[in-house]
Amino acid sequence: MSPQKFLDALGHLDDQYIQQAAEYNGKRRKFSRMIGTAAAACLVVLVSAAGIRMLPQRDTSPSLSTGEVYDQTESGTSSFHDGYAQTEHTGGVTIPPLDVYLGNDVAADMIAFFLYQGRCYVQYDTLDEDDGLIGEHLGTAIGLIDEWTPEDGYVDLAGSIGGDFYAVNGYDPEFMLCMKSDNGNLQLYICNNGITLQYGSELYEDRLHLSGNIDAVEFESRASWYNSENERYRLTEDCNEIIETFIHQLDAAEFLLSDQIPLEDGVTSIYETEIYHLYFKMQNGMTVHLRLYQNGYVCFDGMLDVAVQIPETEWQMLLDVLENKTAAQRVQVPDPDEVQLEKCLSDPELGGFIPNWSPDGLELNYAAVSYQIDRETGAETGTRQIMLDYDNPEKLNQHCSITISRTDEKGEYGWTGPIIDRDKLNAETIAKYFPASPDENNQELGVCYGNVIVGCWGRNLDAETVLRIFESVPAKAEENQSS
């Protein structure tokens, strides 16, 4: 069957699939249960001048060197709603505030964001570890707009995502904030809109503190990045001078709007001219991710609306290094799934309850550990659940999911299926929950090991297999049972 035919056949899909894909917004799922009827209000929030005007903080809080929060009332421009505006008073370029529509039926522009003190913070990156980056607790984003929201009004703390947010140690909170996820990841949010930038240094030094804080520089080709090949290289110390020169030019260059970069005939977007991804691994664990385009254009991955152009000589020096790879060493990029599995296995509280055995043919599809998070500090104070999800690549209707949680855990992380005690574990009992001729529904059973439940949820698993899974729960569970 040809790809052409496949794409044609997609045209015969039922409307429900198209509708779902057209309207889907991943980051809003979490709040759908909370907002209930409020969602029906379908209010439109314009994160724009209306909001910015309400900000007394702007005049009193320390601001970021030459960049400033965009203020329509001061800019004197009226082209703000039509797109990007060139400000007259700084000579730089202005990225206008996002127009964020909550309740928009199409939701094509929805992204993970929240509003705080007149600025709109948009998700930039996710770190596996917080490495002491979490600073002061600054507030709690509510993650919704409710029916009392005035139309076109600015609502502090509203947005498409919710949760406690914090300053990021070493970074200006006007630029970067963070949220701690239940799974231990640190989500970084940056204010990448409603700002005016003139020189690269306003972003790369004043905000990202690039110079003097780099631990390593890595890169990969566009093809490697696009196809997830992870063919990534680390530059050796021989390249230090070239990198320093590159950063110097990055800082000195003037910003221009990415959509104003001249394109050759037949090229419809700057993305088509992308050639490399450059990663500055910072000493604090953060990564400053740059995208390199043909003809010396460079964008920060968190702010793709603006770019700088590196002079030809310095650009060519860097390109030579990247293309020849003579002063670079291949680095292994850890598989995110393996990182997660390791986190689960080494978890001091529930990791000891992970079954040692999984059925032949089943491959780990997903592993996650969920923590209890202290709201004030963002610290992990305990483990709430471990989840391991297995699929059979050869038998797509065979599935197994293991969840481990405490007996007193309720709600999202608690086990809600049937439970038996460890000493009742035998093939006959399990067969009641995993019958030989299963219907279309999934089967499930939890086994209690003291105050911990190991739950198995699956499809097309026989009782013997499930018994073997439970019997492979390691010795720590046995100790827990006896105590």
Partner 1 sequence: MQDDKIIRLFFARSEEAIRQLDCKYGKVCRSLSLNILGDRQDAEECVNDAYLGAWNTIPPQNPSPLLSYICKIVRNLSLRCLRQKTAARRNSHYDVALHELEGCLSSAGTLDDQLDAKELATVIRQFLDSLSVENRVIFLRRYWFMDSYHEIARQVGLTEKTVSVRLVRIRQKLKVWLEENDIAVSS
Q: Residues in the site for partner 1, rule: CB under 8 A?
A: 1-27, 105-112, 123, 125-126, 160-161, 225-228, 266-268, 271-272, 304, 336, 393-394, 396-397
Nearest distance from C-beta of residue 145 to partner 1, angstroms: 17
Min CB(102)–partner 1 separation in Å: 14
Nearer to partner 1, 150 or 336 (CB): 336
Please state the closest distance from residue 458 (CB atom) to partner 1, in A.
Answer: 15
Cβ proximity to partner 1, 258 vs 309, nearer residue: 258
The nearer residue to partner 1, 7 or 475, going by C-beta atoms, is: 7
Between 91 and 336, name the residue whose CB sits nearer to partner 1.
336
Nearer residue to partner 1 within complex by CB, 84 or 433: 84
Q: Is 108 or 252 the residue whose CB approaches partner 1 more closely?
A: 108
Which C-beta is closer to partner 1: that of 14 or that of 428?
A: 14
User: Minimum CB separation from partner 1 for residue 313, in Å?
Assistant: 31
Q: How far is the CB of 22 from partner 1 (least distance, A)?
A: 5
CB-nearer residue toward partner 1: 263 or 327? 263
Q: How far is it, in rounded angstroms, from Cα 240 to Cα 287?
A: 18
Give min distance, CB of 158 to partner 1, in A: 16
| 184, two tokens | 């231990």
In the complex, the smallest distance separating the C-beta of residue 225 from partner 1, rounded to whole angstroms, is 7
Of the pair 333, 419, the CB lying nearest partner 1 is at: 333
Pairing of strands 363-373, 328-331: unpaired
| Residues comprising the chain, all counted | 483
Residue placing its CB nearer to partner 1 in the complex, 292 or 463 = 292
SS3 of the chain: the string is CCHHHHHHHHCCCCHHHHHHHHHCCHHHHHHHHHHHHHHHHCCCECCCHHHHCCCCHHHHCCCCCCCEECCHHHHCCCCHHHCCEECCCCCCEEECCCCECCCCCCCCCCCCEEEECCEEEEEEEEECCCCCCEEEEEEEEECCCCCCCCCCCCCCCCECCEEEEEEECCCCCCCEEEEECCCCCEEEEECCCCEEECEHHHHHCCCCCCCCCEEEEEEEEHHHHHCCCCCEEEECHHHHHHHHHHHHHHHHCECEEHHHCCCCCCCCCHHHHEEEEEEEEECCCCEEEEEEEHHHEEEECCEEEEEEECCHHHHHHHHHHHHHCCCEEEECCCCHHHHHHHHHHCCCCCHHHCCCCCCCCCEEEEEEEEEEECCCCCCEEEEEEEEEEEECCCCCCCEEEEEEEECCCCHHHCCCCCEEEHHHCCHHHHHHHCCCCCCCCCEEEEEEECCEEEEEEEECCCHHHHHHHHHCCCHHHHHHHHC
Q: How many CA atoms lie within 13 A of 396 on its CB side?
A: 0
Residue 271: what are its φ and ψ, rounded to 5°? -60, -30
Closest distance to partner 1 from the beta carbon of 250 (Å): 22
Minimum CB–partner distance for residue 231 and partner 1 (Å): 14
In angstroms, give the least distance from the CB of 18 to partner 1.
4
**To the nearest whole angstrom, how small is the minimum distance from the Cβ of residue 221 to partner 1?**
14
Closer CB to partner 1, 12 or 33, in the complex: 12
